[in-house]
Structure 1
């Protein structure tokens, strides 16, 4: 009987570091340069997921998009008030 996890990529330290940085950039994107840090967090989250840190890598990518959108909405609200 074949192991279903035999083809799964093992999680590496690089994957975990990329995922953590993705979450950190998601938080920074809310406060400072949302498009730049949101995009960087998105890329790092995807890289972390592809390198084997699933599903946290995908969560980091999604959090970065949400952080960038939230940061842009907050900036627009502050500039237009």
Structure 2
């Protein structure tokens, strides 16, 4: 008895998303710090970490990106309001 000729294809596992959320957590922490301290520095660093985490497929990458953007914007607005109040304008 003969068997039909099937092409022998090796098993290729599907790439799995990165199970680690290290960059995402760093991005979230930087975004939270940006609310009160130096929003341009910490907010932009958080956005970069969140973008890299999202491109790596980390589960919390989009959350880190959102928190960092919010921290940058709200921190800048809060800083503007506080310093305008200190000037008395």
- Give me the TM-score of the superposition, normalised by structure 1: 0.80
The answer to whether the 8 Å contact 1:26/1:64 transfers is yes
Which structure: larger Rg? 2
Stretches of structure 2 lacking an aligned partner (at least 5 in a row): 1-12
1:39-50 to 2 correspondences below 5 Å = 39-50=44-55
Stretches of structure 1 lacking an aligned partner (at least 5 in a row): 1-5
Report which structure shows greater RCO (CA 8 Å, sep ≥6).
1
Residue in 2 aligned with 1:28? 33
Given candidates 5, 10, 14, the residue that maps to 2:17 is 10
Residue in 2 aligned with 1:67? 71
Residue in 1 aligned with 2:7? none
| Cα RMSD for the two superposed structures | 1.5
Residue in 2 aligned with 1:38? 43
- Provide the rounded CA distance (Å) in 1 between the counterparts of 2:16 and 2:45: 23
- Give me the TM-score of the superposition, normalised by structure 2: 0.74
